[in-house]
Amino acid sequence: MKKYLVHFSFLALVLCAGFGCSTSTAHKLNQLDLGMTPAQVKKILGDEYVARASTTDTNGAHLQLWEYTDKKTQEAYNVYFKDGRLSQWSPHGKLDFPVLTTPK
């Protein structure tokens, strides 16, 4: 019986440590800076995003919209790029591109 208690305690400890190590997407967003490249954003937020839209605006700028979903809360966050640079991020909303400015 004591052997099972030790195994159960160890399993509980491993599970708690595993769940405690994951960081929410909302927390990771605080590490972003305007002007980052898509590769830099992936390094922080990971590769598990959905490319929701890509277009060229009337001035010829290339716009991209990525959506990340927090695995814990299922909240979605939009990440916008203009000409390959991070221009904006926000909680999930409309899929239309806002007016974006290129970071300097």
Domain boundaries, the chain: 23-104
Residue range 41-68, pLDDT digits in tens: 999 999 999 999 999 999 999 999 999 9
d(CA 11, CA 14): 5
Residue range 84-99, pLDDT digits in tens: 999 999 887 755 666 6
Please name the helix (run of DSSP H) or strand (run of DSSP E) that holds residue 17, with its range, or none: helix 2-21
Q: Which of 10-19, 37-46, 63-72 has the lowest mean pLDDT?
A: 10-19
pTM: 0.69
User: Domain 23-104 - what CATH class?
Assistant: alpha beta
